[in-house]
């Protein structure tokens, strides 16, 4: 499921809330159009399953200005909730993403390390627009482990290493390598007593080709 970027663009379009005229109004209309296009591209798989074939024909023209304003207000509210929860669980916070179930129907997903059922139920009552998930790691631990994995592979001489990260929804660490390096990288991981216990998936990418541009 794609994690929509609506919370990241709110600040850019905050000036929609203030009436303008002339050239400023034209600029605001342009940014409003861009925002609408962003909404249509960021809609989640949940939305597409709900609307089926109709989801493929949704364009910025189908989204009203009122829907955009409502969307902004909800996104701002979720942004405040996200910051509040991050502060509340500073040592246990793992990750977050926003699911767009429909235009303006936003749900914030947050993962917290070692979240127990009783605590999850209590938090669900405290934050109605948030869905909580348990994670085996905190964000700090994930960063450390990703660095540990990549450094181990890089130090072993894997020239085909492209990068890595953590997929919270699947619970796997991801290592991206060029085609032909999978066996080598897998051998490095299996030879490390700590890394071979981690849920690691190796993603194979094709050869990168750089296009030269004239000076």
Return the pLDDT at 44. 63
- The CB density around residue 60, as the number of other CB atoms within 10 Å, is 16
Q: Residues 43-60: pLDDT tens digits? A: 666 667 666 766 677 777
Q: Residues 167-202: pLDDT tens digits? A: 988 889 999 999 999 999 999 999 999 999 999 999
Write the secondary structure of the chain as one string of H (helix), E (strand) and C (coil).
CCCCCHHHHCHHHHHHHCCCCHHHHHHHHHHHHHHHHHHHHHCCHHHHHHHHHHHHHCCHHHCCHHHHHHHHHHHHHHHHHHHHHHHHCCCCEEEEEEEEEECCEEEEEEEEECCCHHHHHHHHHHCCCEEEEEECCCHHHHHHHHHHHHHHHHHCCCCCEEEEEEECCCCEEEEEEECCCHHHHHHHHHCCCCHHHCCEEEEEECCCCCCCCCC
Query: Between these two residues, 38 and 94, which has the higher pLDDT value?
Result: 94
Average pLDDT of span 120-125 = 94
pTM higher than 0.85: no
Q: Residues 127-139: pLDDT tens digits? A: 988 999 999 999 9
Confidence of residue 22 (pLDDT cuts 50, 70, 90): low
């Amino acid at each position: 499921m794609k994690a929509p970027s609506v919370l990241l663009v709110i600040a850019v379009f905050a000036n929609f809330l203030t009436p303008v005229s002339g050239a400023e109004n034209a600029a605001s209309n342009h940014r409003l159009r861009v925002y609408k296009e962003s909404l249509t591209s960021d809609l989640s798989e949940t939305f597409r399953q709900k609307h089926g074939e109709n989801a493929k024909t949704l364009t910025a023209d189908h989204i009203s200005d009122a829907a955009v304003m409502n969307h902004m207000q909800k996104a701002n509210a979720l942004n405040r909730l996200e910051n509040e929860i991050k502060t509340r669980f500073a040592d246990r916070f793992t990750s977050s993403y926003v699911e767009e179930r429909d235009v303006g129907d936003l749900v914030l997903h947050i993962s917290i390390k070692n979240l127990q059922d009783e605590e999850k139920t209590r938090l669900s009552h405290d934050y109605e627009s948030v869905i909580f998930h348990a994670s085996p790691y905190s964000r700090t631990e994930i960063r450390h482990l990703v660095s540990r994995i990549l450094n181990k592979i890089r130090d072993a001489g894997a020239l085909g290493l492209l990068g890595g990260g953590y997929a919270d929804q699947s619970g796997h660490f991801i290592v991206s390598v060029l085609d032909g390096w999978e066996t080598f990288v897998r051998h490095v991981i299996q030879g490390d007593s700590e890394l071979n216990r981690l849920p690691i998936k190796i993603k194979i990418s094709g050869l990168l080709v750089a296009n030269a541009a004239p000076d």
